[in-house]
Structure 1
Amino acid sequence: MNSMNHPLLRLADSTSVLRPGKYTDHRTSAVLPQLRRIGLFRARRFGDLLCATPVLRALAAAWPKARITLVGLPEAEGLAQRLSSVDDFELFPGWPDLPGVPSAKADEYSFFQRRMRSRRFDLVVQLHDSGRNTNALVANFGARRNAGFADPDDWVPEADALRFVPWPGQGSEVLGLLALTDYMGLPRRGLKLDLPLNADDRARVRPLLPASRRYAIVHPGARLAVRRWSASGFAAVADRLAQAGLEVLLTGSEDERALVASVAAQMRHPALDLSGRTDIWMLGAALASASVAVCNNTTVSMMAAALGTRSVVASQAGEVDRGPPLDRQRHRVFIPGNDAHAAELLAQAALALADEELA
C-alpha cells in the first residue's frame, strides 16, 4: 500500500499538508532562518544511526539554540541520551510500509502523531530513506517546514519541494546523508561517527576482558544471514590471530550464540566466547581497547569506525562502497570467498593492523 493512502494517515486532518509535489534543485530556496525546534526521523538500526551522527552535528552547529529531537526505534534511545547533538528522543511505534520496522496499531500511531504535532517543529528532516514510504508519514508530523530525500517522481510536500534531494543509491552512507545538509548550506562538522562511552560501560565489561594480553574481537554475526561471511572463514581467521599471540574474543548477541559456538567449534585454538554476555555499550567498550576487530559489514563495523579501532570487514559485493568505514587505511574491506586463501588474506590484514596499533 502506498504510504500516502494508508488509513493511519487519515487519523489527523492533514489534507493541507499532503499535497503532491516534485523535487527540483534550486539550492538557494533550501536556506532556512533561525530555528528553535528540529525533528530528525531515522527509524533504523544502531549502526545506521551512527552513520547519521555527522548530520546531527551539522544541524546542531547551524542552529545552536534549537532543540533537536531524534525520532527512532527503541535501540536509538540510549544513543540519543548520550549524544551532545540531540536534546530529546521520541519513540517511533512503527509503520506498515517500512522494511524491518513493526506495524503500529491505530491507537498507538494516533497517540504518536498527536505527540509529534504537539512539539510544533519548525523543521523535520526525513533521514530514513528515499521518502517513497516515509515522506507522507513525516509530513504528517505537522512541522512548519520539511526537508529530506526524494527521488524525482516521489511525493514531497509541495511547499517544501526545494528542500528535498535525491536519495543516494550508491556510495558511502555517511557522505550520502551529508548530501542533504550540504545542499541546505550547512557546514560539515567532520565525518567522524559519534559513539560516546562512559566509565560504567568500561567497568561492566572489564571482568570479561583479558587482563594482560592484547586481544582481537571476532564478530561473525549480522542481522541478515545474507550479510554474513561463513563461520568456517571466521574460525580460520581467528585461529591465525590466536597463533600470532592475540587473545581472541568471539562476540555476538543472544540470538547469535549458536553461530558463535559454531565458529568456536571449528577453531583449533581456544577463544573466549562473549556471545549474549554484553549489551551494545559493553561491546563498544570492549571494541575500544581491542587491537583489531574482524566482522561483517554491519553495526560492529560502524562501531569500530566510531571508536577508532582498526578493523577487517567481510563485505558483500553490493555493499563495499555503501556501508564500510571511510578510512580504508584503518579499516580494510574484502569481498571474501569461502576458501582458505580468502581467510588467509583477511588474517594477514588483521595482523598487519594489530601491528600498526602497537607502533
Structure 2
Amino acid sequence: MSRRPLLHRFDVESIVVFRALQLGDMLCAVPALRALRAALPSAHIVLAGLPWAAQLVRRFSAYLDEFLSFPGHPLLPEQPARHGELTSFYSTVCARQFGLALQLHGSGDITNHIVAGFGARAMAGHCRGAPVATERTVLAPYPDIGAEPERLLQLTTRIGAPAAGSHLEFPLLREDEDELAASGVADGLEPNGYICVHPGARQRDKCWPPECFAGVADRLADEFGVSVVLTGSQAEVPLAEAVAAHMRTPAVIAAAPISIGAMAALMSRSRLLICNDTGVSHIAAGLGLNSVVVFSKADIARWAPLDRLRHRCIWDPGAERASVVLQHARTLLSGTEPSRQRAAGMWPYW
C-alpha cells in the first residue's frame, strides 16, 4: 500500500462529507472544511446532513458547493428516519460516484456503515479500536480528548489536507442584514451599546435558570450602561419573557421568528453574549464576539470555544456561580484582563 496520504494517491474531483448534526456541531466542522478546500480548490464538495443545514451551503459557499438532505437512520437520534426516502437517497448518492466519502460524524460506530453505502471511490473517517489503512480506505482511531474542531482537523490532516487554521467562522450575508432590518427587532439599538443574553438551548435541561441570567444582566446594565437584548427562537419567547420578568432593568425581547443569520447579525453589533452551552456560542466564536458560556452537562473541554480569553466558559451545573459569570462578563466588557494571565494563557476554564 502507498504511504502517501489518501488525497495524494489519486485525483479527487468530488467529495461527499457526512455530518448530520445541529448548528453548533456543524460550525465546529468549518476548520476541517476549510482545510479540504485549501487542499483541493477545484473539487466539488457536497455536504450530506440534516435538512436545516441546506443554509450552510449558501453561507459557506467558499467551502461547500452542494447539499444533500440525509433522510436519517434508526440508530441516529438527531431526526426520525424517513424510511420511504432511504432507497432513493442511497441510489442518488451512489450514482454520483464520488471520489471520496468523508465521515465527519463521530466515532463511526454507526456512521461508517452509512458512509460506506455511498459507493465512493475512497472513504475516510474515524473508528473505534485499531486503525484501518488500505489503498482506498483510511479510518483513524477516534480521539477521546481535545476540542471538537481539533479532533476533526486531525482526520483531514491525516488524509493530506493540512490545517488552514482552527478558528471558526460565521459569514454574514446581505440577506441577514436585510431580514434583521425588516423585522424591526434592532430598531433603536445602538451598535456596541448593548449585550445579548441568550437563555435558551435545544435541550432545556442545559439551561441556566432565568433568574440567574436576569441578575447578571441587571448588574451589567447598571455598571456599564448597556441595554440588554434577550435573543432566542420564536419557541423560546416564554423563556426570554421569564428572564425579563426577573429583571429590574427593561430588556428588549428579540426572541422572534427570525433566521439564524438575522440573529447573528443582531449579535454582531453587540458588545458581549451571555449564553448556555449551545449553538450560539459557536456563532459568537465565528463572529469574534466576546462571550460567557455557562456549561452544565456537556464536555467542556470538547465544546468550549478555543480562544479561552475571548470566550469564558463556566462550569455551573448547580446554578451556584452567578458571581463568577458576572466577574468574567465584567472583565470582557472592560477589557482589563490581567497581563500575566494573558501572556501565560492561564485559566482555560472557570
- Corresponding residue for 2:85? 108
Q: CA deviation at 1:279?
A: 1.4
Q: Is the 8 A contact 1:251 1:273 kept in 2?
A: yes
2-side partners of 1:152 and 1:160: how far apart? 19
Could you say which residue in structure 1 is the equivalent of 2:346?
none
Show CA shifts across 1:198-228 (max 9, x none): 2231232243224336000000111112322
- The answer (yes or no) to whether the contact 1:310–1:353 under 8 Å persists in 2 is yes
Q: Deviations over 1:167-189 (max 9, x none)?
A: 22332011011110121232111
| 2:288 maps to amino acid | G
Gaps of 5+ in 2: 337-350
Look up the match of 1:17.
Answer: none
TM-score, normalising length from structure 1? 0.86
Identity %: 39
Q: Normalization by structure 2: what TM-score?
A: 0.88
Q: CA deviation at 1:153?
A: 6.5
Give 1:119 deviation, angstroms.
Answer: 1.2
- The answer to whether structure 1 residue 305 and structure 2 residue 285 are counterparts is yes
- When the two chains are superposed, the root-mean-square deviation of aligned CA atoms in Å is 2.1
Matched, 1:231 2:231: no
* Residue from 130, 144, 151 that aligns with 1:169: 144
Report 1:274-285 matches (<5 A): 274-285=254-265
Structure 2 partner of 1:9: none
Deviations 1:97-121 (A, max 9, x none): 102222122x301111111012110
Please name the residue that 1:44 is paired with. Answer: 21
Tell me the equivalent position of 2:180: 205
Equivalences, count: 328
1:13 corresponds in structure 2 to none
Q: Deviations over 1:244-269 (max 9, x none)?
A: 21110111112212222211111111
**Could you tell me which residue of structure 2 aligns to residue 326 of structure 1?**
306
Shift of 1:194: 2.4
Residues 169, 285 of structure 2: 8 Å contact kept: no
Map of 2:70 onto structure 1? 92
Q: Secondary structure at the match of 2:128?
A: coil
CA distance in 2, matches of 1:288, 1:94: 33
Q: Is 2:62 aligned against 1:82?
A: no
Query: In structure 1, how many angstroms separate the alpha carbons of the residues matched to 2:317 and 2:39?
Result: 45
- Structure 1 residue 159, shift from structure 2 partner: 6.4
Find out whether 1:336 has 2:316 as its counterpart.
yes
Q: Secondary structure at the match of 1:208?
A: coil
Distance in 2 between residues matched to 1:148 and 1:79, nearest whole Å: 21
Q: Retained in 1: the 8 A contact 2:16–2:98? A: yes
SS state at 1:322 partner? helix
Structure 1 residue ranges without an equivalent (≥5): 1-25
Deviation at 1:28, TM superposition (A): 4.1
Residue type of the alignment partner of 2:49:
G
SS in 2 for 1:124: strand
